[in-house]
Chains A and B, each alone.
Chain A
Amino acid sequence: MSEHLHPVLDVRKLVKTYGQGEATVHALRGASLTVERGDYVAIMGSSGSGKSTLMNILGCLDIPTSGRYLLDGVDVSRLSDNQLALVRNRRIGFVFQSFNLIPRTSALANVELPLAYAGLKARERRRRARAALDLVGLAQRAGHEPNQLSGGQQQRVAVARALVTAPALVLADEPTGNLDTQSTADVLSVLDRLNRSGRTIVLITHEPDVAAHTKRLIRLVDGAIVEDVRQRPINDHERAVLR
Chain B
Amino acid sequence: MNTFETIRFAIRGVSANKLRSALTVLGMMIGVAAVIILVAVGNGSAKSVQSQISALGTTTLTVSSGSGLFGGTDTSSTTKTQDTSLTLDVASALEDPQSAPHVKSVSPVASGSSQNATYAGSSHSISQFVGTFPSYLSAESYSLASGTGFTRQDVNQGRKVAVLGKTVADDLFGSVNAVNKQITVNGNLFTVVGVLKSKDSSGFMDQNDVAIAPITAVQESITGYGALSQIIVEATDENTVTDAQNEVTAILNNKLKVSDPTDEPFSVRTASQLLSTTQSTSDTFTVLLGAVAGISLLVGGIGITNIMLVSVTERTREIGIRKALGAPKRVVLTQFLVEATVLSLLGGLLGVVVGVVGSQFTIVGIRPVLAGYSIFLAVGVSLVIGLFFGSYPASRAASLRPIEALRYE
Contact = CB atoms under 8 A, between A and B. Distances in A.
Contact of A63 (B5, B9, B12, B401): B401
B399 to A, nearest CB: 9
Q: Could you say which of B322, B323, B325, B402 has the most chain A C-beta atoms within 10 Å of its C-beta?
A: B325
A60 B406 CA distance: 13
A149 interface: no
Interface residues on B, range: 20 to 34
A81 B329 CA distance: 8
Nearest to B331: A117
B325 A117 contact: yes
B326 A100 contact: no
B403 interface: yes
B364 interface: no
A61 interface: yes
A89 B325 contact: yes
Contacts of A118: 326
B326 A88 contact: yes
Interface residues on A, range: 20 to 34
Contacts of B401: 61-63
Contacts of B322: 102, 113, 117
Contacts of A103: 16, 318
A87 B403 CA distance: 15
A106 to B, nearest CB: 10
A82 B1 contact: no
B328 A102 contact: no
Interface in A171-207: none
Contact of A88 (B2, B325, B330, B331): B325
B295 interface: no
B324 A59 contact: yes
Interface in B89-121: none
Contacts of B9: 116
Contacts of B325: 88-89, 94, 113-114, 117, 161
B166 to A, nearest CB: 66
A63 B401 CA distance: 9
B256 interface: no
B1 A100 contact: no
Contact of A116 (B1, B317, B324, B402): B1
Q: Could you say which of B16, B320, B402 has the most chain A C-beta atoms within 10 Å of its C-beta?
A: B402
Contact of B327 (A59, A85, A100, A161): A85
A102 B13 CA distance: 11
A61 B326 contact: no
B8 to A, nearest CB: 9
A63 B5 CA distance: 30
Contact of A117 (B16, B328, B402, B403): B328
A94 B324 contact: yes
A100 B407 CA distance: 11
A232 interface: no
A61 B328 contact: no
Interface string B1-35: 11001000100100010000000000000000000
Contact of B328 (A63, A85, A94): A85
A117 B1 contact: yes
A86 interface: yes
B321 A100 contact: yes
Given A63-B401, A117-B328, A117-B331, A85 B12 contact: no
A114 B406 contact: no
Interface in B308-339: 317-318, 320-331
Contacts of A60: 402
Nearest to A103: B318
Interface string A136-156: 000000000000000000000
Q: Could you say which of B1, B16, B324, B403 has the most chain A C-beta atoms within 10 Å of its C-beta?
A: B324
Interface in A74-133: 81-82, 85-90, 94, 96, 100-105, 113-114, 116-119
A85 B326 contact: yes
A75 to B, nearest CB: 18
A59 B318 CA distance: 17
A56 interface: yes
B406 A61 contact: yes
A61 B9 CA distance: 23
A236 to B, nearest CB: 31
Nearest to A57: B403
Interface in B327-359: 327-331
A82 B402 contact: no
Contact of A105 (B12, B327, B406): B12
Contacts of A63: 401
Contacts of A117: 1, 322, 325-328, 331
Contact of B326 (A89, A102, A105): A89
A61 B324 CA distance: 6
Contact of A82 (B5, B317, B329, B406): B329
Contacts of B331: 117
Given A61-B401, A61-B403, A61-B406, A90 B321 contact: no
Nearest to A162: B325
Contacts of B329: 81-82, 85
Interface of A: 56, 59-63, 81-82, 85-90, 94, 96, 100-105, 113-114, 116-119, 161
Given A62-B401, A89-B327, A101-B321, 13 more contacts: A56-B403, A61-B324, A81-B328, A82-B329, A88-B324, A88-B325, A100-B321, A113-B325, A114-B326, A116-B1, A117-B325, A117-B328, A161-B325
Interface of B: 1-2, 5, 9, 12, 16, 317-318, 320-331, 401-403, 406
13 contacts: A61-B406, A81-B328, A82-B330, A85-B327, A85-B329, A87-B326, A89-B326, A102-B318, A114-B326, A116-B1, A117-B327, A119-B1, A119-B2
Instruction: List 3 tightest A-B contacts by C-beta distance, closest first.
Output: A89-B326, A61-B403, A62-B403
